[in-house]
Amino acid sequence: MAATAIPSSSAAPAADAPVHAEVAQLPAPPPRPAPYQPPRLAVDGAGGGAVAVVGGGKPCRHHAYSRKQKSLGLLCTNFVALYDRGDVEAIGLDDAAKRLGVERRRIYDIVNVLESVGILVRRAKNRYTWIGFGGVPAALRELKERALREVPVVGSPSLDETSAANVSDDEDDDKFDDADGDAESEKLSLSQSIDNSSDKPDAAPCKLRSDHRKEKSLGLLTQNFVKLFLTMEIETISLDEAAKRLLGEGHAENNMRTKVRRLYDIANVLSSLKLIEKTQQADSRKPAFRWLGQPKKNEGDSVTVAFAPTKMTLPSKRAFGTDLTNFDNKRGKLDSTMENRGNLTLGNRSDFVYGPFHPAGTRARKEHDNRKILEKDRKSIQDWENLASSFRPQYQNPALNDLFGHYVEAWSSWYSDLKRDAAS
DNA sequence: TCCTCCCGCCAATCA
DNA sequence: TGATTGGCGGGAGGA
pLDDT digits 0-9 by tens, A386-398:
433 333 333 334 3
- Beta strand pairing call for A40-43 and A120-124: unpaired
Q: Which nucleotide lies nearest residue A254, CA to C1'?
A: C9
Distance CA A18, CA A52 (A): 10
What is the reported pLDDT for A291? 87
Per-residue pLDDT tens for A120-142? 888 888 889 898 888 899 988 88
A286 CB inside 7 Å of strand B: yes
Question: Is A142 part of any domain?
Answer: yes
Instruction: Give the three-state DSSP class for A256.
Output: helix
| A144, A124: one domain | no
What is the reported pLDDT for A65? 62
Distance CA A197, CA A390 (A): 44
A318 CB inside 7 Å of strand B: yes
What is the reported pLDDT for A303? 54
What's the CA A157/C1' B7 distance, rounded, in angstroms? 35
Residue A158 confidence (pLDDT) above 50: no
Question: Is A62 part of any domain?
Answer: yes
Comparing A97 with A367, the larger pLDDT belongs to A97
Nucleotides of B under 7 A from a protein CB: 3-10, 12-15
Q: Which nucleotide lies nearest residue A257, CA to C1'?
A: C9
A269 CB inside 7 Å of strand B: no
Q: Which residue is nearest to nucleotide B15 (CA to C1')?
A: A125
Describe the crossing of helices A72-83 and A104-116 by its angle, rounded to 10 degrees: 70
What's the CA A26/C1' C7 distance, rounded, in angstroms? 36
What is the reported pLDDT for A401? 44
A331 CB inside 7 Å of strand B: yes
Question: Is A349 part of any domain?
Answer: yes
Cα A231 vs. chain centroid, distance in angstroms? 21
| A333, A207: one domain | no
| Helix (H) or strand (E) segment spanning residue A120 | strand A120-124
Residue A165 confidence (pLDDT) above 70: no
Residue A330 confidence (pLDDT) above 70: no
| Helix (H) or strand (E) segment spanning residue A206 | none
What's the CA A261/C1' C9 distance, rounded, in angstroms? 9
Among A287, A258, A292, which Cα is nearest to A275's? A292
Distance CA A278, CA A290 (A): 6
A 10 A CB-CB count for A383 gives: 16
Question: Is A378 part of any domain?
Answer: no
Segments forming the whole domain that contains residue A416? 21-131+318-358+393-423
A73 CB inside 7 Å of strand B: yes
Instruction: Give the three-state DSSP class for A272.
Output: helix
Q: Which of A47-56, A195-204, A278-287, A398-407 has the lowest mean pLDDT?
A: A47-56
| A147, A127: one domain | no
Long-range contacts: A366-373, Cβ < 8 Å, 24+? A366/A311, A367/A313, A367/A314, A369/A311, A370/A311, A370/A312, A370/A313, A370/A314, A371/A313, A373/A310, A373/A311
What does strand C contact on the protein, if contact means CB under 7 A?
Answer: A 65-68, 93-94, 104-105, 108, 111-112, 125-126, 170, 173, 213-214, 216-219, 254-255, 258, 261-262, 317, 331-332
| A232, A328: one domain | no
| A123, A140: one domain | no
Q: Which nucleotide lies nearest residue A264, CA to C1'?
A: B5
Calculated CA dihedral for residues A161, A167, A168, A169, nearest 10 degrees: 130
Q: Which of A101-105, A223-227, A292-296, A314-318 has the lowest mean pLDDT?
A: A314-318
What's the CA A317/C1' C15 distance, rounded, in angstroms? 9
Q: Which nucleotide lies nearest residue A261, CA to C1'?
A: B5
Q: b/e per residue, A89-108, with b = 16+ CB within 10 A? A: bbbbbebbbbbbbbeeebbe
| A215, A164: one domain | yes
Backbone Cα Rg of chain A: 22
What's the CA A340/C1' B11 distance, rounded, in angstroms? 32
Q: What is the CATH number of the domain that holds A77?
A: 1.10.10.10
Per-residue pLDDT tens for A297-317? 444 445 555 444 333 333 333
Per-residue pLDDT tens for A60-116? 333 456 777 778 888 898 899 888 887 777 888 888 888 888 888 889 999 989 998
Cross-strand pairs, A91: A128
Cα A404 vs. chain centroid, distance in angstroms? 17
Within A136-273, strands assigned E span: 236-237
What is the reported pLDDT for A113? 92
Comparing A168 with A115, the larger pLDDT belongs to A115
| A277, A234: one domain | yes
| A326, A254: one domain | no
Distance CA A163, CA A179 (A): 15
Among A228, A363, A389, which Cα is nearest to A293's? A228
Q: Could you tell me the CA-to-CA distances from A99 to A62, A93, A175, A353, A379 in Å, in that order?
A: 21, 10, 42, 23, 39
Comparing A29 with A186, the larger pLDDT belongs to A186
Question: Is A264 part of any domain?
Answer: yes
Residue A235 confidence (pLDDT) above 50: yes
Among A350, A392, A347, which Cα is nearest to A369's? A392
Question: Is A83 part of any domain?
Answer: yes
| A352, A281: one domain | no
Nucleotides of C under 7 A from a protein CB: 4-15
Q: Which of A4-13, A136-145, A148-157 has the lowest mean pLDDT?
A: A4-13
Cα A23 vs. chain centroid, distance in angstroms? 19
Distance CA A231, CA A170 (A): 23
Residue A25 confidence (pLDDT) above 70: no
pLDDT cut 90: percent of chain A above it: 3
What is the overall mean pLDDT for chain A? 57
Q: Which residue is nearest to nucleotide C9 (CA to C1')?
A: A258
Count of CA atoms in the C-beta half-sphere (13 A) of A319: 22
Q: State how many domains chain A has.
A: 2
What is the reported pLDDT for A71? 85
Q: Which nucleotide lies nearest residue A94, CA to C1'?
A: C4
Per-residue pLDDT tens for A252-289? 777 888 888 899 889 989 988 989 888 876 666 677 88
Q: Which residue is nearest to nucleotide B4 (CA to C1')?
A: A264
Among A224, A222, A233, A387, which Cα is nearest to A299's? A233
| A248, A206: one domain | yes
Is the previous residue joined to A309 through a cis bond, with omega within 30 degrees of 0?
yes
| A142, A271: one domain | yes
Question: Is A226 part of any domain?
Answer: yes
pLDDT cut 70: percent of chain A above it: 36
Question: Is A308 part of any domain?
Answer: no
| A109, A215: one domain | no
